Structure 1
């Protein structure tokens, strides 16, 4: 006759097996996260000298055995962005690598210990910075200087054509680029108010506030004058941010875009963009660049401004979990493949010569 297990021993066994199960699940989930966040690229930390400063960058190289590669130079949008955009660039770098292209990006000045302050830059300053990075890349033996192009998102729309006017580029990938700073700001304000379900009274008040800010900018008001005019309420504005806006609010890419004529351009636009008026962007790009027939426009109906799926972006939890367990799935369906195909189609002959 089989002896009965004492309740105490049975409870101990349950506890032990519960701990083992949790441990196995933890190890398994950790393995999935590590696997999903491993990319088929070799990343190198690099330093680039520019204007007496050092840019802290990352060069992501394909693992394809070729001695030389084309290069995609990344131009950030707004905000304090590091070289990898907190890892958000890496799925794109992997897509570039599949097409035989390396990727280069760097911390904005003042980010991650880099010298300087990005809020003190103009769009021309940013273009000079990128041109210096391209010159650095052209001096490398593992980069094909004739196959260097640009990728830029949002605010980079004012920087990309300025770079092309300073140094030859082979192609441009423009993601949700804005055309005119003031038009973009007004569009964003109204789109956000609609998304918030704002009342007519609140909408009128916000437009009045926006008009006041525009007048202050036009008259080159100081930050202190801005705060006084707003009744002492800075509403999150800082002296540095006010200086950045004052320096750049007249930005307009319309005329600068002529520098991209004849250059292959992939224009990627989101279907749920409350930051940039994509219809206005597409109209200006087509009017300016179509004479050269080098413009490709791709729309992603399920995407938000950053080309992350809108269904994911509107939930912080969904964004975090997807970034951990399936980071390539963050982006709109087809976007990574389209970027790879665009690069692959540029010059098959150049690949064959490597």
Structure 2
């Protein structure tokens, strides 16, 4: 054998085995991803008519063989959110399914091809939309109309009690809900400035700009006036967004929370929430709902506003890898289990306020 042939064959064998090893590892990782993103529930696309247009929704049901289920209706927070929240709701839906509950959610208007524009909605509009979805679900033979409740995060805190005032609901899960729009905005601004280590001068400038914006809102200024006042610097603001804020900046959940006095409420509070003053939220919920004695407040020390674990959310790499290989682990410890337990306790009839 020629002396040069043997090393060449060894290199070829090494390359082949390296390729085989890479393919095996890739296949294994792909299998893990597929397994982790397989949820114990059935999903179907649904259409809900409301106000002359269609809500494009997803109805998720447990795989338990029962003909009828209770239902958790999802109310999104701020932003252009689709029905699954980019698949972020799926671990929550699975927890509901384990408790024997279905889940219903839909694309916001203008999102994922849905008609309309979510920035054209008031909180009352959103409540009307949700009440219509509850009515649609109540008419279905596979949904137990006496066990329909709401789940809502962040901005949904202004929507949930409005829905309960319009239609009977069996429970509410409120996740990081704000109380007062303007106070929430100021809290968020100051929390971000502190997190950034902003100087005193930068902080004063940011507060002055915020105060100017409030004055413009109070006198119903147009977007053009806003731009002119800010020296032409929109700083991310759009005409649609300005219209949305102008419509909703007076929102205050305290005025509507009385509608929840006789409704079991699970209030989830994050320990690292820079968006919402959870101390104010808990205080107001306890004050308003004290008469009904139906409030359960749960605190999650490692949770951020989005209820991801802080150690995960502060790293884009960790967030991406966890979302791929262990999506249920994105959430703060106990968050999924507590919601499952809350629903199970409702059916057993022994929810204990905390």
**Equivalent residue, structure 2, for 1:30:** 30
Compute the displacement of 1:4 (Å). 9.6
Q: Deviations over 1:161-219 (max 9, x none)?
A: 00000000000000000000000000000000000000000000000000000000001
**Equivalent residue, structure 2, for 1:140:** 140
**Equivalent residue, structure 2, for 1:352:** none
- Looking at structure 2, the residues matched to 5 and 91 of structure 1 have their Cα atoms a distance apart, in angstroms, of 56
Compute the displacement of 1:348 (Å). 2.9
**Equivalent residue, structure 2, for 1:58:** 58
- Looking at structure 1, the residues matched to 13 and 201 of structure 2 have their Cα atoms a distance apart, in angstroms, of 65
**Equivalent residue, structure 2, for 1:21:** 21
Compute the displacement of 1:142 (Å). 0.3
Aligned residue pairs, count = 348
- Looking at structure 2, the residues matched to 311 and 144 of structure 1 have their Cα atoms a distance apart, in angstroms, of 39
**Equivalent residue, structure 2, for 1:104:** 104
- Looking at structure 1, the residues matched to 117 and 294 of structure 2 have their Cα atoms a distance apart, in angstroms, of 36
**Equivalent residue, structure 1, for 2:41:** 41
Tell me the SS of whatever aligns to 2:291: helix
Show the 5 A alignment for 1:282-293. 282-293=282-293
Compute the displacement of 1:314 (Å). 1.1
Compute the displacement of 1:315 (Å). 1.2
Q: Deviations over 1:70-99 (max 9, x none)?
A: 000000000000000001000000000111
- Looking at structure 2, the residues matched to 48 and 258 of structure 1 have their Cα atoms a distance apart, in angstroms, of 29
Tell me the SS of whatever aligns to 1:244: helix
Unaligned runs of at least 5 residues, structure 2: 350-354
- Looking at structure 2, the residues matched to 195 and 81 of structure 1 have their Cα atoms a distance apart, in angstroms, of 26
Tell me the SS of whatever aligns to 1:115: coil
Show the 5 A alignment for 1:148-297. 148-297=148-297
- Looking at structure 1, the residues matched to 159 and 324 of structure 2 have their Cα atoms a distance apart, in angstroms, of 31
Compute the displacement of 1:246 (Å). 0.4
Tell me the SS of whatever aligns to 2:59: strand
Tell me the SS of whatever aligns to 1:345: helix
Compute the displacement of 1:316 (Å). 1.3
CA RMSD in angstroms comes to 1.2
- TM-score norm. by structure 1 comes to 0.97
**Equivalent residue, structure 1, for 2:343:** 343
- TM-score norm. by structure 2 comes to 0.97
Show the 5 A alignment for 1:83-102. 83-102=83-102
- Looking at structure 1, the residues matched to 290 and 302 of structure 2 have their Cα atoms a distance apart, in angstroms, of 26
